[in-house]
Structure 1
């Protein structure tokens, strides 16, 4: 049937009315705000506790640690706590709100990891695939002894799963300072966004790894390389992959690698430390830390994870895939020498597994180096977000993402 005849048939069929109403309802639902307020008692949080949390946040603003911040707790029923203090920047009188745009840095990693597993579901990728299948430079892996500088051929093959779990042996200059490998990264890998994903991955593939893939955990450029792998596997740039598989279905239309100049007035700015200007487009679409987002948008992603891969009728991942992603990957034979949290918590295929204070279960999520945090806790049927922008500055802030997580759980447990 041709397009004109199909249109005519729809217009003349009684079924057209039903379809039109259904489509309109679906569009209205997808475009509705992700913030529906419900009583905080749904999370066992009292108004006094909210007031105390807000006062601590305000103290961080008054003490010149941050310009502003936002915290929320919600679930599929709605948002039980949403508090914001301060402004979007040190020279900006605009209050922080759910439309403020934050550099979420490493909170990009779970998004890209979910996209990777979406490709796995579609048969375009396997977690068992060698990275060299997509990035040939990883075909002749070498391992460096950071104490002696000796470089030897690798015995293990690096796989996509190693990228997802940070067990690849790939590091990052900022986390390898003072070492021979750190020097090699500084010489070969540009971190200013001037390299495309493919160029950055190729440069890293030509460097030695810190350890045999699969034997230890180390934070670094693994998810940046994963982004390059996805581009080859899907035959699309990373931003198109994320738009098609996550952002458009969830209506996350303000989560982007680069911010249009007309939205620049909504970008949060730090008091301390320099942050990249993401209104200037560069070749790299960093899967490890390049996204900007709003609270309104990221709620949708967190809610989808809490709801086993689905949000308001849009399924991003099958529940079984998400369950697989959340399994512990720091098994006893994997070294935790470089793990940020020692023997506490763990790591899955894309998420930090965080122990929940006072509970047997655990939450999963991650944070950004600019001060942001999200976590999903299915046992307590909640997700939380904390948004601020800070790089450095004086120590002893009365509120930050670590304190945010602690006080929320203290309130829930009371």
Structure 2
């Protein structure tokens, strides 16, 4: 099936030098409707983008990690309301920043422990060191090397346990390293390293043969080049290479850190297999009753997601795996019940049970996740489908 409106929209983005290359796959629960590769995998070397190219998934790793945790929850290995400190002692007895605190030492003991549910919904009170780099807590995260390739997940927990929470667990939403903590929880409960667990329980059942924390040497030539544009003027045409980000050798060199929040490289076909399985009801990964935790909002009434420096996204909730559309917005092609997420290099996905529709889009623009090509893709996709 062809998608002429989608292709035209994406070709315009490529012509405007917003992206170097982009590929997408569209599917129903039981069939693939179409796929396409446009532009370059490596613009400088004039290598066209192919279906077998690999992409840095960044935060789209979170969906894999959340599914792994929900598998273990299905087995009764932990409860969603269990204190995380029962499994990760470094996260017991945490402290919370006082409101308006100008120092990370201005804290009080947390009244509520961080629970598994808080991790999966980003309501634990953790943060990232790069989202608000001038904030004292962000500086503290960076100084403590919370996310560092030379540390394994156990060492990360020790560093994280020495830092305060932004707020009392469960009282607010903040995008954070919480899914990396989930990755450590999976390791502790399963007794396996995170990469081993993923291979056995996620990748093998779905036939995902091209998804890795560290791309093997014989497949590294298939890793698409990473680009970056203007940070201050993101719509300004022009891209430059950024393969050194987030650190030299990332995704290519074997390091101790297995980032459940952002460490995987994957292919269009592999990641589409995951999202299509969820659209199909979860099998072979999750039971239907567990899928309700993936497709339904799990935030308290009146709490919406909000990313640093952006307005509150009213009508956007969060399940135990991803964002969920609860209220449709005029002019925005998001359907009620749609589940979605994106990564730092602008890889995107959604599935909509109500429409029996899903899609995965792959590209590699660092810090490009908020560019308008994704809503344009969604509008064009529904235009193409509506014209049939």
TM-score with structure 2 setting the length: 0.87
Give the whole-Å Cα distance in 2 for the aligned partners of 1:410 and 1:210: 42
Distance 1:113 1:392, change over 3 A: closer
5 Å matches for 1:1-400?
40=1, 47=2, 50-145=3-98, 147-148=100-101, 149=103, 150-272=106-228, 273-274=242-243, 275-276=245-246, 277-310=250-283, 315-332=284-301, 334=303, 341-354=312-325, 361-392=336-367, 400=373
Give the whole-Å Cα distance in 1 for the aligned partners of 2:217 and 2:180: 25
1:15 aligns to what? none
Are the aligned partners of 1:88 and 1:268 in contact in 2 as well (CA < 8 Å)? yes
Once the 2 structures are TM-superposed, how far is the Cα of residue 73 of structure 1 from its aligned partner? 1.2
- SS in structure 2 of the partner of residue 174 of structure 1: coil
Give the whole-Å Cα distance in 1 for the aligned partners of 2:143 and 2:348: 31
Once the 2 structures are TM-superposed, how far is the Cα of residue 335 of structure 1 from its aligned partner? 6.7
Are the aligned partners of 1:215 and 1:335 in contact in 2 as well (CA < 8 Å)? no
Distance 1:404 1:192, change over 3 A: farther
Are the aligned partners of 2:9 and 2:376 in contact in 1 as well (CA < 8 Å)? no
Gaps of 5+ in 1: 1-39, 41-46
**Which shows bigger deviation, 404-413 or 263-272?**
404-413
Once the 2 structures are TM-superposed, how far is the Cα of residue 135 of structure 1 from its aligned partner? 1.4
**Which shows bigger deviation, 163-172 or 122-131?**
122-131
Distance 1:392 1:223, change over 3 A: closer
Give the whole-Å Cα distance in 2 for the aligned partners of 1:145 and 1:89: 48
Are the aligned partners of 2:96 and 2:167 in contact in 1 as well (CA < 8 Å)? yes
Are the aligned partners of 1:71 and 1:404 in contact in 2 as well (CA < 8 Å)? no
Gaps of 5+ in 2: 229-241
Once the 2 structures are TM-superposed, how far is the Cα of residue 236 of structure 1 from its aligned partner? 0.7
Give the whole-Å Cα distance in 2 for the aligned partners of 1:78 and 1:168: 38
Distance 1:146 1:172, change over 3 A: farther
Are the aligned partners of 1:215 and 1:333 in contact in 2 as well (CA < 8 Å)? no
Give the whole-Å Cα distance in 2 for the aligned partners of 1:338 and 1:51: 33
Distance 1:337 1:64, change over 3 A: closer
Give the whole-Å Cα distance in 1 for the aligned partners of 2:145 and 2:385: 44
- SS in structure 1 of the partner of residue 164 of structure 2: coil
Once the 2 structures are TM-superposed, how far is the Cα of residue 146 of structure 1 from its aligned partner? 5.8
Give the whole-Å Cα distance in 1 for the aligned partners of 2:288 and 2:77: 19
Once the 2 structures are TM-superposed, how far is the Cα of residue 61 of structure 1 from its aligned partner? 2.4
In the TM superposition, what whole-angstrom CA distance separates every residue of 1:340-360 from its partner, at most 9, and x where no partner exists? 652131101011113565786
**Which shows bigger deviation, 354-363 or 133-142?**
354-363
Once the 2 structures are TM-superposed, how far is the Cα of residue 101 of structure 1 from its aligned partner? 0.2
In the TM superposition, what whole-angstrom CA distance separates every residue of 1:52-108 from its partner, at most 9, and x where no partner exists? 322332232233332210122112332223222111122233321221100111111
Once the 2 structures are TM-superposed, how far is the Cα of residue 338 of structure 1 from its aligned partner? 5.2
Once the 2 structures are TM-superposed, how far is the Cα of residue 280 of structure 1 from its aligned partner? 0.6
Whose helix fraction is larger, Structure 1's or Structure 2's?
A: 1
**Which shows bigger deviation, 357-366 or 224-233?**
357-366
- SS in structure 2 of the partner of residue 175 of structure 1: coil
Once the 2 structures are TM-superposed, how far is the Cα of residue 396 of structure 1 from its aligned partner? 11
